[in-house]
Amino acid sequence: MSVVTTKIVAIAAAVLGGGVAGVLAQDVMQQRLPFLRVVAEDDKVRVLRYAPGAGDKSVMHSHPEAVVVVLKGGRVRYTFPDGTQKVVELKTGEVMLRPPVTHRDEAIDPVESILVEIKP
């Protein structure tokens, strides 16, 4: 594990050490998306690198509670199970604590972020 990844995992574990309960609709990694990969994982967290190009999309999936670190900002369109959509402007350097979510996403701009998912 790299020093940066180790620090992100440590911060996430300290902030969200309690974990999260819940059932996920579909694990995003089952989609085998070329712009999403696991960079580290243990029994408490899974660290994902999300780096889609403009127009890259996923299908509906779920994430547990997570810490998101934006490495390269841009716009992403999220669609939720009820059909509502939201365009979010991710800002480079932004760090977010995200509750569990079910959505599909489409990159409007190329973006890059690290997601530290807290395992239930």
pLDDT of residue 77: 98
Q: Judge contact between 79 and 104, C-beta under 8 A.
A: yes
We find that the CATH architecture of domain 3-118 is Sandwich (2.60)
Q: Is the pLDDT of residue 3 over 80?
A: no
For the chain, the average pLDDT equals 86
Locate the domains of the chain by residue range. Answer: 3-118
Distance CA 107, CA 105 (A): 7
In Å, what is the CA distance from 46 to each residue of 31, 56, 87, 107?
A: 16, 22, 25, 22
Residue-wise pLDDT for 73-84, tens only, equals 999 999 999 999
